[in-house]
Chain A
Amino acid sequence: MTKFIIIMLSAVFINNYVLSRFLGICPFLGVSKKLNQAVGMSVAVIFVMLIATAVTWPIQIYLLDPNSLGYLQTIVFILVIAALVQLVEIILKRYIPSLHKSLGVYLPLITTNCAVLGVTILNIDEGYTFAEAMVNSLGSGVGFLLAMVMFSGVRSKIEGADVPKAFQGLPITLVAASITSLSFLGFSGVIENLFA
């Protein structure tokens, strides 16, 4: 149980996907302007990460590895994720239209989101069991949500600030992201010592 907590907490805080692993920067910069969009996107990411892990982990362990097809990992995973996102969208549209209405627009964006492909590959690289992989995916998704929500708050402050002309737009956003990620550096070492 302790191991699950460690995996979860380190995925959320220490190895935060956006702020320390630099995965999923595009949505982090592009969709974080408003809080409700940031939350919608993040919830969709958590959802897809969990489903993608639940499907790709068994494929790698029971299909690719026994047949020594490990080198096909990249192609298979991206195809599975792309197909899965389409499938999820169709199912949501048919059976849970209210959820589709709030998440639907974000789903197609996630196909080419490196955070989702990243989490599925990292789960295999780290040698996690199925349960650990699922916990790691959930933690990574929650970490993404946390970063997005925090950053949308920071950005709403920037919108009203008077910044030098050259820094307007993206540059000042990146500088703000730098300071946000600085705050996450404070967590390093905390989790290991918590359970030592």
Chain B
Amino acid sequence: MNKRQNFLKGLIKENPVLVLVLGTCPTLAVTTSVSSAIGMGAAATAVLLCSNIVISALRNIIPDKVRIPCYIVLIAGFVTMVQMLVKAFAPALDESLGIYLPLIVVNCIILGRAEMFANKNKVIDSAIDALGMGAGFTLALFMMSSIREILGNGSWMGFEIPILSDNSISIMTMAPGGFLVFGILIAVVNKISHGKNSKKNFGCAGCPSADICAKSNGEQEEAK
């Protein structure tokens, strides 16, 4: 796989949100307005880039058994840095992201890429992978927030749209609208890709705790 493909796969073929279905919590929560969605995308991309580079550089040093705690500590460190930068330079963004900014720590995309890509690949490839995945995450958030802000608030990036702003469907910016738009977007992606990417089950494969999750499902079934 060359570097260009490596970058592009994160955007479309393996889009972390719409195809791999990782990081659903921030996707649903911060997409009420385009500006906060882009802010979230940028913050998560910054953390992902730093963590992928460092984890890839340390991949031969970190013992396999304690890798997940190590990754979490590294990621938490970078999230704290981003948190302080956002607080200092973009207080309005800090306000609109609120609790979801520190929660980047437990965003499955970041831990998932560390586990699936960075601990097996070279530093430069991991950095490109992080940029691609970050861009894919931001793109998905941007699409979703555009739909929700235009329909729910009658505006886009804060600019009012003449007719729509008088006839806004406010449910779109509320919780049910988030689930609905996300579901429909994934269905559209499935349709376009003719079900090539669609999985029968949820995209647990990218989740670091997928093993345990599958085990818990399996054991429950055996118990019956």
What CA separation (Å) do A64 and B176 show in the bound complex? 37
Question: Of B80, B183, B203, which is within 8 A of A172 by CB?
Answer: B183
What CA separation (Å) do A106 and B214 show in the bound complex? 11
- Interface on chain A toward B: helix, strand, loop, or mixed SS? helix
B contact residues, total (Cβ < 8 Å): 57
Instruction: Say whether B217 faces chain A, with CB atoms less than 8 Å apart.
Output: yes
Task: Report whether B208 and A112 are in contact in the complex, using a CB–CB cutoff of 8 Å.
Answer: yes
Task: Report whether B24 and A29 are in contact in the complex, using a CB–CB cutoff of 8 Å.
Answer: yes
Contacts of B219 in A (CB 8 A): 105
Known: A121-B99, A121-B102. A169 touches B199 (CB 8 A): yes
What CA separation (Å) do A117 and B219 show in the bound complex? 27
Task: Report whether A36 and B220 are in contact in the complex, using a CB–CB cutoff of 8 Å.
Answer: yes
Task: Report whether A181 and B76 are in contact in the complex, using a CB–CB cutoff of 8 Å.
Answer: no
Instruction: Say whether B179 faces chain A, with CB atoms less than 8 Å apart.
Output: yes
Chain A, 72-87, contact with B by CB distance < 8 Å: what is the 0/1 string? Answer: 1111001100100000
Q: Give residues 166-182 of A contacting B (CB, 8 Å).
A: 166-175, 177-179, 181-182
- Interface on chain B toward A: helix, strand, loop, or mixed SS? helix
Task: Kindly count the residue-residue contacts between A and B in the assembled complex, taking CB atoms under 8 Å apart.
Answer: 158
Q: Give residues 142-190 of A contacting B (CB, 8 Å).
A: 164-175, 177-179, 181-182, 184-185
Report A165 CB to chain B, min CB distance, Å: 7
Task: Report whether A166 and B188 are in contact in the complex, using a CB–CB cutoff of 8 Å.
Answer: yes
Instruction: Say whether B111 faces chain A, with CB atoms less than 8 Å apart.
Output: yes
Instruction: Say whether A88 faces chain B, with CB atoms less than 8 Å apart.
Output: no
Looking at B3-11, B33-41, B53-61, B190-198, the stretch in contact with chain A turns out to be: B190-198
Instruction: Say whether B1 faces chain A, with CB atoms less than 8 Å apart.
Output: no
Instruction: Say whether B175 faces chain A, with CB atoms less than 8 Å apart.
Output: yes
Q: Give residues 30-83 of B contacting A (CB, 8 Å).
A: 69, 72-73, 76-77, 79-80, 83
Residue of A nearest to B212 (CB): A108
Question: Of A33, A34, A108, A177, which is within 8 A of B179 by CB?
Answer: A177
Interface size class of A (residues with CB under 8 A): 35 or more
Contacts of A121 in B (CB 8 A): 99, 102-103
Contacts of B84 in A (CB 8 A): 71
Task: Report whether A109 and B199 are in contact in the complex, using a CB–CB cutoff of 8 Å.
Answer: no
Report A141 CB to chain B, min CB distance, Å: 17
Known: A117-B106, A125-B99, A185-B174. A174 touches B183 (CB 8 A): yes
Report A1 CB to chain B, min CB distance, Å: 28
Report B208 CB to chain A, min CB distance, Å: 7
Task: Given contacts A22-B178, A109-B216, A112-B106, list 11 more A-B pairs with CB under 8 A.
Answer: A78-B106, A79-B72, A112-B111, A117-B102, A117-B105, A166-B190, A167-B190, A169-B199, A174-B179, A182-B176, A185-B176
Nearest 10 pairs between A and B by C-beta?
A174-B183, A178-B179, A105-B216, A171-B187, A178-B180, A22-B29, A166-B191, A75-B76, A22-B28, A182-B176
Query: Which chain B residues have a beta carbon within 8 Å of chain A's beta carbons?
Result: 21, 24-26, 28-29, 69, 72-73, 76-77, 79-80, 83-84, 99, 102-103, 105-108, 111, 171, 174-180, 182-184, 186-188, 190-191, 195, 198-204, 207-209, 212-213, 215-217, 219-220
